[in-house]
Amino acid sequence: MSASLLALDPGKLPELRGNVLVIGSGIAGLTAALTAADRGARVILVAKSALSESATFYAQGGIAAALMSGDSPEKHLADTLEVGLGLGDPGAVAVLVNEGRAAVQELIDGGIRFDRRDGDLHFTMEGAHCHRRILHGNGDATGRLLEEFLLARLQEQPQIAVYENHFVVDLLVLDNQCFGAVMLDGNYGRLLALRTDTTILATGGGGQVYRETTNPAVATGDGYALAHRAGARLRDMEMTQFHPTTLYLAGAPRFLISESVRGEGAILVNQDGAPFMQKYDERGDLAPRDVVSQAIMKEINAAAGAQVFLDLRHLSPALIRERFPNISQICASYGLDIAGKPIPVRPAAHYFMGGVVTDLDGLTTVERLFAAGETASTGVHGANRLASNSLLEGLVFGKRAAERALNYAPARWRKILLTRPERHGGAPLDLSDLRHSLQSLTWRHLGVFRSEPRLREAEQTLAQWKRYVFAEEFQSRAGWELQNMLTVAQLLTTSALQRQESRGAHQRFDFPHTAPTARHTEI
């Protein structure tokens, strides 16, 4: 029997039944739901907010696929493994680049409108790619293009029952098998039991655990916490990718400045206007994201908190307007004309490369429970994700998870009781204050650079908070989200302490060298 945030008999709740439960509505979740429904399954799709509110919707740069003349899946595979620094799984990457190429071509054949020049698909360059292979849509709004394309298909599929503004509190697990979940109806405040043959976690990442993040508000790491309580194994949770260039203006959100901006020729400069990336890596501004993020923080720390900027002034204003209309508009709303003035930038938490361990079909270590997209650890990213591989991963492995999920025989329903240790509630908690405190703690101690003293302090503080936060029996999404975020922060801390080396996105002051043998951390 798994741990739970609830204590109840799900058999006494109103029930919804289906073949496949999909939790999450980004590219992985939508692809999984559509794949299962197209094969005749009855699908329940749950989104904790609006369907379109996902990291996919806000993805700017593009989706990588070796479709351009002179490129190949083999080259794409080599680039992905090189950036992964020994933690990437060659078999998983081979699936990604080969099936991904076919999946993107299927989107094109299906009518998706990626950007073109002179009638031909336009491919751009991003850091650590050896070839121009990044397809994009509406300039710098590729994720929105993909999300809306898939949502349009969803509207045509009667086999999918959609539940927006519903929050999955816990999974129903017995004898290491998952039989569905319990969810909160966000409209009426009641709990519902979802009885399904298989469940697919596609909840995205957990960037909201950090104070500085590019992630939308829904990215609170729920899938990691759900899987952990269900007894599933998680891997490499310390591998948080920090996007090197997010808008850094007082009062402005940490809006992502796409890597494709540097791909088109923008350069990073210090407060004196001098380029600096070449002294950190021979690839300069097109080095992998971990290298660029660390270089920026070194420049900032060396000059006692000075600013770093992304300079586009040498590029054509017409090119800037055509390729980056969304970035131009957002910056202009804060009085910044990016064609005439450099953009102040800093790193922010962006993508979790670790996650719930799965096989190549998305199956976790719990039977009937699958994971896909950022929630999963398929082995494709390793220690540092190659730019624009994330949308591709959701497309490829969302489909594979759904296909494998349909191979399971109908579940034999069994009585499941959700239990939690006895709790002793105290005074009401200020959830907003706790959430902000947690985000600040992780940013200070689990940011771009780490060390054992900082990690031990985080470990002790999180344990203290967890003692009284988990003593509370919440009846709201906000409370359960906070408990999930605390769980994820603990997983990050434990994993970061295990990895006594510096590798890719995980950099430790006290272990600056990379170990000769690459090993995974597991919880």
- DSSP output for 72-115: -HHHHHHHHHHHHTT-S-HHHHHHHHHHHHHHHHHHHHTT----
Q: Which 8-state DSSP code applies to residue 223?
A: H
Residue 495 phi, psi dihedral angles, 5° rounding: -70, -40
Separation between Cα atoms, residue 122 and residue 319, nearest integer Å: 13
Separation between Cα atoms, residue 518 and residue 501, nearest integer Å: 10
Task: Find the catalytic residue in 144, 229, 262, 289.
Answer: 289
Separation between Cα atoms, residue 357 and residue 402, nearest integer Å: 16
- Residue 390: strand, helix, or coil: helix
**Cα angle vertex 94, ends 154, 256, to 5°?**
60
Rg over CA atoms, the chain = 22
Closest C-alpha to 265, from 313, 201, 217, 216: 313
Are 79 and 72 contacting, i.e. CB atoms less than 8 angstroms apart? no
**Cα angle vertex 506, ends 505, 509, to 5°?**
130
Closest C-alpha to 7, from 417, 511, 518, 440: 417
- Amino acid at site 437: S
Q: In degrees to the nearest 10, what's the CA dihedral of 43, 47, 52, 56?
A: -90
Are 373 and 26 contacting, i.e. CB atoms less than 8 angstroms apart? yes
Count of CB atoms situated within 10 Å of the CB of 398: 32
Are 249 and 344 contacting, i.e. CB atoms less than 8 angstroms apart? yes
Residue 374 phi, psi dihedral angles, 5° rounding: -65, -25
Structure tokens that stand for 154 in this block? 């969803």
- Amino acid at site 83: V
Structure tokens that stand for 40 in this block? 């005749």
Question: Pairing relation of β-strands 123-124 and 134-135?
Answer: antiparallel
Separation between Cα atoms, residue 130 and residue 140, nearest integer Å: 21
Structure tokens that stand for 217 in this block? 């508000």
Question: Pairing relation of β-strands 15-23 and 43-46?
Answer: parallel
Catalytic residue list contains 385: no
Q: In degrees to the nearest 10, what's the CA dihedral of 160, 166, 171, 172?
A: -70
Residue 69 phi, psi dihedral angles, 5° rounding: -55, 135
**Cα angle vertex 288, ends 370, 355, to 5°?**
20
Residues carrying an active site annotation? 289
